[in-house]
Chains A and B, each alone.
Chain A
Amino acid sequence: MPIDPEAPITITAFDWVPPFARGQVRDLRVRWALEEVGQPYAVRYLTRGEQKQDDHRARQPFGQVPTYEEGDLTLFESGAIVLHIADRWPGLLPDGPDARSRAAEWVFAALNTVEPDLSDMAMATIFERDESWSKPRIPAIRERIGEKLRELSDRLGDSPWLDGEFSAGDLMMISVLRMVEGDDAFLIEAHPNLLAYRTRGEERPAFRRALSDHMAGFTGKAPPEFAAWEEGEKA
């Protein structure tokens, strides 16, 4: 298990998030990448609210997780961190020429083409769920997600991974596809090749270790305002 408090790499993660966000917070992507390349890492856990304080903002100007620290280098943005890990250690770039650019292409495609509509859905169904526009917005967002998944499924075809060997691009795309769940699961189930692709990623030992460590990190207490939110959820 590569979590090691003495490791030269330290990442940040939250010690508590609401149940619906567990398994989705972006430190999971970095943990997975580090597991794939076999690099031990330490985790600095932030309590709720600590991410917006000056100490953390010096690492991450937008007050988010994850960050990556190694010696004098501090990085943020999960895409940049995963690409940095792929550059440093073997295991996350495809075979053949221009491997780095081809992996980066799918990292950007995952984050900039596929993820935005999924984030919009999360916004509509979670953060704006009490607004009058929450439900009316859903069909159009769902249609946009469906179109992206169709296009991705067409490109993947019957290949195991997006471009030859498993790469940082697959890691990021599968991480993003994991957001297609709950009421939207049918959107990915409509594409058996995409569903199998996601499963193939989730079955990798490195992913399983990363997910298990990510889940084990939520040892903090829920903030008082969450109780009220949870009540609303039950109602």
Chain B
Amino acid sequence: MPETNDAPITITAFESSPDKGQGLARDMRVRWALEEAGQPYAVRLVSFAEMKEPAHRALHPFGQIPTYEEGDLALFESGAIVLHIAERLAGLLPDDADARARAITWMFTALNTIEPPIVEREQAGYLERDKSWYDERLPLLEDRVLERLDDLSHRLGDGDWLDGTFSAGDLLMVTVLRRLEGAGIVEEYPNLAAYIARGEARPAYQRAFADQLAVFEASLKAETSNAD
């Protein structure tokens, strides 16, 4: 298990993740990438209050997680961190220069074309659920997600991965699509559902998932013992 206290790489993650250990927080992407690359890393957990304090904002100007520190280098934005890892270590980008550029295109597609309508739909669920227009607006938000998934499903076809072998583009795409699991949306696309399952079956994914889940479970225990 590459999570270790004295690794040269330190990432930050939620002390108590609002997703309750489902692996939807964005540290999951970075953990998974580091696992694929076989790179040990340390984790510093931060509370919601700490995230907005100057010490953390020096690492992340928008007061979010994850961050990545290695020697003098500090990075934020999960996409940039995964790209940095993929550029440095083997296993996440093809060797051929053009194929690399295409894999990076899929990273941006995941985060800029597919994720925004998914997050908007999700956000409406917790920011606007009590509004009178919520029920009327929801189908419109779902249509925007479906439009993207139609095109993505069409492009994936019967391929295992988006462009040849597994890459950082697939890694990000699978984490983005996982946000829809259980909503009855992505399940309508058998090839996308199988694609997500293929990603989740990777040993590196499973180690990363188990590690983030262990953090959440430990936070529950801490809460219980505090209550005693």
Contacts and interface: CB of A to CB of B under 8 A. Distances in A.
Given A72-B98, A154-B61, A77 B77 contact: no
Contact of A112 (B57, B63, B112): B112
B219 interface: no
B133 A132 contact: yes
B111 interface: yes
Interface stretch (B36-44, B151-159, B179-187): B151-159
B108 A77 contact: yes
Give the secondary structure class of B's interface: helix
A112 B77 contact: yes
A159 interface: no
A158 interface: no
B76 A80 contact: no
A162 to B, nearest CB: 9
B108 A79 contact: yes
Nearest to A112: B111
B131 interface: yes
Contact of B113 (A77, A98, A104, A148): A77
Interface string A129-145: 00111001100100000
Given A61-B154, A104-B83, A76 B98 contact: no
Contacts of B80: 101, 104-105, 107-109
Interface residues of B, number: 44
Given A80-B105, A112-B77, A151-B63, A101 B112 contact: no
Contacts of A195: none
Contacts of B34: none
B20 interface: no
Contact of A100 (B79, B87, B105): B87
Nearest to A141: B127
Interface string B47-74: 0000000000100011110000000110
B75 interface: yes
B13 interface: no
Interface string A48-70: 00000000010001111000000
Contacts of A75: 101-102, 105
B98 to A, nearest CB: 4
Nearest to B77: A108
Interface in A125-181: 128, 131-133, 136-137, 140, 148, 151-152, 154-155
Given A97-B73, A113-B77, A151-B61, A77 B109 contact: yes
Given A108-B111, A133-B137, A152 B61 contact: yes
A206 interface: no
Nearest to B127: A140
Among A57, A62, A72, A119, the most chain B Cβ lie within 10 Å of the Cβ of A62
Contacts of B101: 73, 75, 80, 84
25 contacts: A75-B101, A75-B102, A75-B105, A77-B108, A80-B104, A80-B105, A80-B107, A84-B104, A97-B72, A101-B73, A101-B75, A101-B83, A101-B87, A104-B79, A105-B77, A107-B80, A108-B77, A108-B78, A108-B83, A111-B112, A113-B64, A113-B77, A128-B140, A151-B61, A154-B61
A-B pairs with lowest CB-CB distance, top 7: A133-B133, A155-B61, A77-B108, A108-B77, A61-B155, A105-B80, A80-B105
Interface of B: 57, 61-64, 72-73, 75-80, 83-84, 87, 98, 101-102, 104-105, 107-109, 111-113, 115-116, 119-120, 127-128, 131-133, 136-137, 140, 148, 151-152, 154-155
